[in-house]
């Protein structure tokens, strides 16, 4: 992985990918380390959670980096040093925005990062815990022309990815429980069309043992290969 300071990388990214309005900037919030995935703490210890968080983040970042049309991948994190460790080995150049200690919570952190990103490019916010995310999932979002595109979670209630374009770039962010409706309402208040998308790769996050059980077998196999012991910890011992 190559890490760049956001301010110095912005011009280079625009020069490398063409005019500013053609660039899609992917923004990934990353808490990182064993502090992440606390709801899996009943089954996974801190070290195991830290390794899982790192694997999921690398998968999401490299999927974004491999998608045609994504010109920049930016991570916002309160701990850039931990993020660099988590993302070590990725094939993607990542720009890191430090979340100030005075900024608390996911939406304020994303707002802070959004304010540092120059240019009128489309902005794609993607959670860092989507183990089944594919290039096809990301391309499906980028192929939509709505100013607001909401990719829901498995239940159809939350938001795991949010694409903002044009006037949608200023949309009030409302990530958290029930965020789909908040994002749709925020778009309606601005008179903007919001398209809702449900796809397997964007819908399946990993926060709880129930989320793990709902993942396709192939995705669970891939996670287990990268973070050994996850299956037995979350599923229990195999029956004899």
Question: 143: how many CB neighbours lie within 10 A of its CB?
Answer: 9
- pLDDT tens per residue across all 240 residues of the chain: 544 444 334 334 333 434 444 579 999 999 866 667 778 888 899 999 999 999 999 999 999 999 999 999 999 999 999 999 999 999 999 999 999 999 999 999 999 999 999 776 899 999 999 999 999 999 999 999 999 999 999 999 999 999 999 999 999 999 999 999 999 999 999 999 999 999 999 999 999 999 999 999 999 999 999 999 999 999 976 554
- Asked if 187 and 194 count as a contact pair (C-beta separation under 8 A), the reply is yes
Can you say which residues are annotated as belonging to the binding site? 159, 176, 179
- Whether pTM > 0.85 for this model: the answer is yes
- Asked if 158 and 178 count as a contact pair (C-beta separation under 8 A), the reply is yes
Structural domains of the chain ordered from first start: 2-224 (3.90.550.10)
Closest among 27, 160, 142 to 95, alpha carbons compared: 27
Can you say which residues are annotated as belonging to the binding site for phosphoenolpyruvate? 159, 176, 179
What is the rounded CA–CA span in Å between residue 15 and residue 3? 18
């Amino acid at each position: 992985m190559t890490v760049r300071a956001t301010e110095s990388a912005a011009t280079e990214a625009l020069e490398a990918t063409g005019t500013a309005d053609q660039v899609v900037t992917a923004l990934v919030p990353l808490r990182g380390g064993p502090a992440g995935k606390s709801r899996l703490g009943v089954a996974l210890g801190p070290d195991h959670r830290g390794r899982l968080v790192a694997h999921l983040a690398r998968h999401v970042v490299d999927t974004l980096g491999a998608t045609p049309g994504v010109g920049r991948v930016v991570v916002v994190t309160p701990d850039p040093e931990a993020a660099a460790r988590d993302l070590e080995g990725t094939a993607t150049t990542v720009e890191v925005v430090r979340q100030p200690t005075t900024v608390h919570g996911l939406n304020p952190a994303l707002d802070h990062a959004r304010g540092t990103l120059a240019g009128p490019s489309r902005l794609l916010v993607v959670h860092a815990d989507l183990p089944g995310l594919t290039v096809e999932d990301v391309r499906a979002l980028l192929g939509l022309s709505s100013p607001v595109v909401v990719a829901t979670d498995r239940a159809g209630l939350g938001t795991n990815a949010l694409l903002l374009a044009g006037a949608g770039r200023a949309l009030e962010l409302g990530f958290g429980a029930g965020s789909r409706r908040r994002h749709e309402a925020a778009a309606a208040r601005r008179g903007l069309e919001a398209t809702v998308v449900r796809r397997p790769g964007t819908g399946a996050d990993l926060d709880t043992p129930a989320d793990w059980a709902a993942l396709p077998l192939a995705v669970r196999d891939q996670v287990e290969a990268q973070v050994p012991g996850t299956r037995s910890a979350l599923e229990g011992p195999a029956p004899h």
